[in-house]
Structure 1
Amino acid sequence: MTVVLPEAAAPAADTGPLRVVPIPGPEHVAWIAAHGAVSFLQCPSWGRVKAGWRSESLAWTGAGGRTVGTALVLYRDVPGLGRSFAYLPEGPVIDWAGPGLGRWLEPLVGLLRSRGVFTVRLGPPLDLRVWEAGTVRAAVRAGGAADLRDVLPDAVDPVGTMARERLRALGWEPAGRDTQPRFTFRLPLAGREPEGLWEGLSPEWRRNIRRSRAAGVSVAEGSFADLECFHALVAETQLRGDFDLGRGLGYYQRQFTELNRELPGRMRLFLARYGGEVLAAHNLVTAGRRAWYLTGGSASHERWVRPSNALQWAMIRAAHGLGAEVYDLRGVQPSLDPAAPGHGLLRWKLGTGGRVVEGAGEWEIAVNRPLHKAFRRYLARRQG
């Protein structure tokens, strides 16, 4: 599997001492735009989405003050202590493949220590293993493995494996429970034509899309005013699936506003209508050369017209048209048991013909060990 590194963070770019310094948000956004393999969770706007958190844009500078890496840091303050927990979701954006990982992370930890941080958590934007859709389907049919991790992968990324070993050597440890999904589903778009993407869909997906067309389902882009409808459909989906994302309408309004304030069109809302009624609504986020399907909801009636399949096909084509190299459908569960919770979602995403990717997981380091241990005990009780 090919690992794409930001050009400015390539191994030969800078081998001298590095400094970590705050940078203005617009400068951070410009750097992200020039380095396409960056998660939307590392965009400055994401810090403004997260109520209850403070955020800061940081940069690693090398010779001549040139920026060679960036990070969005989220701070969660502990009331009354003057201390905080620092979190870098799917970041930082640095040279993870180079030999000197400590020269990147040690100045980061030093700066955060000066900010009163007691624990630093980061999510290396690296992959470990990849399973193609056909491999996953074959494993489910065979019935011998209960979990995807028991199935031989189609590819292994040595950079992710190596980075984990180096993190351990530097004193980092795996987080008790990842905040972002460890397993995600991605559809490669680079170098493919729309006809090839269509042929890559499963027969069931193609039938469902044709059924939507024949029934008269239409897909169009929505606006801020449609978020109330979107939220209602998400709530209906949660009730039907017996889960709760814990997000109110205000969260989605803030998300839509802040991401698009940073870059118009960074977040888009797509609606599927049938008989004049919106039956499904999904959102799409773009950053650099990637696109993500974040959240979606659908009505419990008229499901026979398959609005979600029509919606996703329109979003895949939109992402492809924007030049995205990967369409990320976010988290899936690794269970291969058809009766397990979440397996239906995995099966649905497999229909796009993409692949399941296991990430390197999230890692923590104790800056203040007593507070770090107390915080971990608190999280263990809260999570259950």
Structure 2
Amino acid sequence: MNCHLKAISREEHAAFVAARPSVSHMQVPAWGDVKSDWRAQSLGWFDEGDRLVGAGLVLLRPLPRLKRYLAYLPEGPVIDWTAPDLEQWLAPMLAYLKKQGAFSVKMGPPVVARRWSAEAVKAAIAAPQAGRLREVAATAHEPGASDVADRLRRMGWQQTEPGAEDGFAAGQPRYVFQVPMAGRSLEEVYRGLNQQWRRNIKKAEKAGVKVVQGDYEDLPAFHEIYVETAERDRFLPRPLSYFQRMWTALRAEHPDRMRLYLARHEGEVLAAATMLTVGEHVWYSYGASTGRRREVQPNNAIQWRMMSDAHERGAGVYDFRGITDTLEEDNHLLGLLRFKVGSGGEAVEYLGEWDFPLSKVLHKAFDLYMSRR
């Protein structure tokens, strides 16, 4: 198929997303408003009959002192990745972005490569003959993923190599943890939780932990314990204004695009989390918890409430987002991986992010600049 590409309106883009069962929350028009330090454009692919058949949100970041841009399509674009003529989809995108002044294009194909069951991940952690998840035999290989990767390489795309903290480094996570919900009752999802999760959920209920939905006014309470979490888990926290902007932008696009949950005990917020929804895909986006009164298990309580609400809304998958690829006991992120594995879902590897240098000199200079920041 011969595709042609042009800029489309937010309304066209939003309608295209709404007609699909699952699109990344980073490929909706409002995500461009969230990333206010980038310039956003909505792109549309059209077939010979001038029908919109693909869309992508591209974020443009300028090089310092130059009118040249890094073009970034996080977890996108939304095109037919199974198409035998993949080049016909991507070549027009590269040509268009080059005219826009892009010196390099980065994208994250929403293509799953491999899956590991919770049991396989648990066994790998318990007896780590392999130091990384990528070295563990997968439970399932997705057909066609390796073919997509091979074709991208032949076109000149370069795969970004996963780092030591893959899933939590720059860019979007290559490894995530998901709980499949399609075709399962909530009771079946609950039975899939491990014994510790079920015990902790009951313990929280018995202790009187109440999980409620919050509003814009509750974001400062979330942010206070989020900053505490960042210090404890050694990551750089985002400012409160980021979450306020996210709330305003995403909910303006769809009133249920973003939710905030708070776990309270005796009037104190002990845990909080944000949840994002696009179609049948629900993400646990940001989480926070205080070190106080951890024995009442607010984290399990808040996750189970979010999973239950996601199921009620018809979610096909509940996505815990990034996990570390490292299985070594001394890795400070291993505890978070263990927590997510307890949900009974599966570890999922995507094809990762890919770069196409339109100017090799500027692409290399930008990599050097980013590495020194």
Under TM normalisation by the shorter chain, which class is it? over 0.9
Alignment partner, residue 156 of structure 2: 171
1:251 equivalenced with 2:236 (yes/no): no
Question: 2:173 aligns to what SS in structure 1?
Answer: coil
- What residue in structure 2 maps to residue 123 of structure 1? 108
**Residues 1:108 and 2:93 aligned together:** yes
Secondary structure, counterpart of 1:104 in structure 2? helix
1:207 and 2:192 aligned: no
1:62 to 33, 42, 47: 47
* Structure 1 residue 378 displacement after superposition: 2.0
Give 1:285's aligned residue.
276
Q: Is the 8 A contact 1:129 1:155 kept in 2?
A: yes
Distance 1:299 1:45 in 2: 31
Contact between 2:149 and 2:351, CA under 8 Å: does it hold in 1? yes
Q: Over residues 238-265 of structure 1, what are the superposed CA-to-partner deviations in whole Å (9 max), with x where a residue is unaligned?
A: 12223223x1000000011100000011
Pick one of 342, 355, 371 that aligns with 2:346.
355
Assess if the C-alpha contact under 8 Å between 1:172 and 1:365 holds in 2: yes
Note the 1:202-281 alignment, pairs <5 A.
202-245=194-237, 247-281=238-272
Corresponding residue for residue 131 of structure 2: 146
Percentage of matched positions with identical amino acids: 46
Which residue type is aligned with residue 179 of structure 2? L
Residue 75 of structure 1 aligns to a residue in which SS? strand
Q: CA deviation at 1:149?
A: 1.6
Answer yes or no: is 1:156 the counterpart of 2:141: yes
State the superposition RMSD in angstroms: 1.2
- 2:307 counterpart of 1:322: no
Q: What's the TM-score, normalizing by structure 2? A: 0.96
Is structure 2 residue 63 aligned with structure 1 residue 78?
A: yes
**In 1, are the aligned partners of 2:233 and 2:332 still within 8 Å (CA)?**
no
In structure 2, C-alpha distance between the alignment counterparts of 1:85 and 1:337, rounded to whole Å: 35
Give the letter for the 1:184 counterpart. V
**Distance in 2 of aligned mates of 1:218 and 1:176:** 42
C-alpha displacement of 1:59: 0.6
Q: Decide which moves more: 225-234 or 172-181.
A: 172-181
Which stretch of the first structure deviates more once superposed, 278-287 or 171-180?
171-180
User: Per the alignment, in what secondary structure is the counterpart of residue 17 of structure 2?
Assistant: helix
SS class of match (2:361): helix
Alignment check: 8 A CA contact 2:63 2:366 kept:
no
8 Å contact 2:47–2:53 — kept in the other structure?
Answer: yes
AA matched with 1:179: G
Deviations 1:20-69 (A, max 9, x none): 11111011111111112210000011111012100000110012210110
Contact 1:176 1:376 survives alignment (8 Å): no
Amino acid corresponding to residue 212 of structure 2 in structure 1 = A
1:193 corresponds to: 185
CA positional deviation for 1:196: 0.5
Specify every segment of 5 or more residues in structure 2 that has no aligned partner in the other structure, as ranges. Answer: 163-169
Structure 2 counterpart SS, 1:358: strand
State the Cα distance separating 1:370 from its structure 2 match: 1.7
Q: Is the 8 A contact 1:217 1:273 kept in 2?
A: yes
Deviates more, 1:370-379 or 1:327-336: 370-379
User: Secondary structure of 1:158's match?
Assistant: coil
Tell me if the contact between 1:121 and 1:175 (Cα under 8 Å) persists in the aligned partners: no
Out of 76, 81, 84, the position equivalent to 1:91 is: 76
1:377 corresponds to which residue?
Answer: 368
Q: Give distance in 1, aligned partners of 2:37 and 2:230.
A: 24
1:304 aligns with 2:295: yes
Alpha-carbon distance in 1 for matches of 2:119, 2:221: 36
Note the alpha carbon deviations across 1:82-137, whole angstroms, 9 max, x for none: 11110000001111111111100000011101101100000000111110001111
Residue 31 of structure 1 aligns with which residue?
A: 16
Following superposition, the deviation at residue 176 of structure 1 comes to 5.7
Tell me how many residue pairs correspond in the alignment.
366
Paired residue secondary structure (1:230): helix
- Partner Cα distance (1:379, 1:278) in 2: 37
Q: Distance in 1 between matches of 2:6 and 2:230?
A: 42
Q: Which runs of 5+ in 1 are unaligned?
A: 1-14
Q: Which amino acid counterpart does residue 83 of structure 1 have in structure 2?
A: R
State the SS of the aligned residue for 1:240. helix
2:25 is matched by which residue type in structure 1?
F
CA distance, structure 2, for counterparts of residue 164 and residue 341 of structure 1: 31
Measured in 2, the distance between the counterparts of 1:26 and 1:221 equals 29
Q: What SS is found at the alignment partner of 1:121? A: strand
- Cα distance in 1 for residues equivalent to 2:302 and 2:196: 15
Match of 2:285 in 1: 294
The two structures have a TM-score, normalised by structure 1, of 0.93
The code of the aligned residue for 2:53 comes to V
Q: C-alpha displacement at 1:381, in angstroms? A: 3.3
